[in-house]
Structure 1
Amino acid sequence: MIKSILVRWIVLAISVGVTVWLLPGLHFTGGIGMLMLLSAVLGLLMAVLKPILVLLTCPLVVLTLGLFILVINTFILYVTSWIFPEHFTIDTFWWALLASIIIGAIAMILNSILGEE
């Protein structure tokens, strides 16, 4: 279980790092330690806040056939940027939306390669 959590944490850190590198609308200052801390907070928010938001917005999630989950992921990414305003900033909603898609795609690919769910 601990190994699985650590692997997911590292995968999320790599996903965030690559996404920040790819997208000019995302800005990150700090080293690997700050990236790991940011990824830990993002992962914690995804684990705690996302299920609550999905439950609260269930009709919208169903109505949009699950696409509203992208908006929820974008909101959680914004919350993370609000927690780390000196180290992680996002220019616009559209950059955040694109970032949440890319982070999810990279994490999905890496998790499938590593055999994680």
Structure 2
Amino acid sequence: MSIIINILITAVASYFLANVLSGVSFGSFTQAIFFSIVLGILNAIVKPILIFFSLPITILTLGLFILVINALIILIAAYFLDGFNVNGFWWALIFSLLLSLVTSILQSLI
């Protein structure tokens, strides 16, 4: 049950942020739900692999390179989904930062 709630929280937060940010867009709310499912899968499978291979640069930048990895995960999700568009790396970076912030606030409220 908590997985479904986390998916819905991520979908609501990402749909809200897509309406606020001009460089990110969704076709519909169902696309935001698909995005949150794909994002969860990518975070579970691809992100640990990217973190492992970029460990030296992550240590060198004191962990700030993980922000770049988060933006890359957003861009990979945009590649796989037709109704989700991101207009470049910087929009993906801003979107990933705000998405992390908003979802953590919403999850703490619930």
Aligned ranges 1:48-63 → 2 under 5 Å = 48-63=45-60
TM-score by length of 1: 0.87
Whether 2:33 is the aligned partner of 1:36: answer: yes
Q: Tell me the amino acid that sits aligned with residue 4 of structure 2.
A: L
Query: Counterpart of 2:63?
Result: 66
Whether 2:93 is the aligned partner of 1:97: answer: yes
Query: Counterpart of 2:21?
Result: 23
Whether 2:44 is the aligned partner of 1:47: answer: yes
TM-score by length of 2: 0.92
Tell me, which stretches of 5 or more residues in structure 2 are unaligned? none
Query: Counterpart of 2:72?
Result: 75
SS where residue 63 of structure 2 aligns?
A: coil
Query: Counterpart of 2:11?
Result: 13
SS where residue 36 of structure 2 aligns?
A: helix
Residues 24 and 91, structure 2, Cα contact 8 Å, conserved in 1: yes
Q: Tell me the amino acid that sits aligned with residue 54 of structure 2.
A: T
Residues 13 and 35, structure 1, Cα contact 8 Å, conserved in 2: yes
The number of residue pairs the alignment matches comes to 110
SS where residue 27 of structure 1 aligns?
A: strand
Q: How far off its partner does 1:107 sit?
A: 1.1
Q: Which runs of 4+ in 1 moved over 4 A?
A: none
Q: How far off its partner does 1:34 sit?
A: 2.1
Distance in 1 between residues matched to 2:38 and 2:48, nearest whole Å:
16
SS where residue 89 of structure 1 aligns?
A: strand
Query: Counterpart of 1:4?
Result: 2
Q: How far off its partner does 1:96 sit?
A: 0.8
